[in-house]
Amino acid sequence: MSEKSVPKLASEKSWNHGRNAEGLGKLNYDARRGMYLHPTLMVTPERLSLGITDA
């Protein structure tokens, strides 16, 4: 098995600016609605991107 680096990122998308937020989860407090994203990018030691494995 070859060596890979797997950096993970976390971000959030908020839908609070006058848009319908029905069906979305709470963010850091009840009034904020949206979703958290946790993509995982796999790269080789040579910095060759192997793609996103989980989003």
Over the stretch 15-52, which tens digit does the pLDDT of each residue have?
766 566 677 888 887 778 888 888 788 888 888 888 88
* Average pLDDT of the chain, as a whole number: 76
Range of the domain at 48: 11-54
Give which of 23, 21, 55, 22 is closest to 40, Cα–Cα. Answer: 55
CA distance 6 to 44: 9
Residue 6, in any domain of the structure: no
Flag whether pLDDT at 4 surpasses 70.
no
Domain count, the chain: 1
55 pLDDT band, cuts 50/70/90, is low
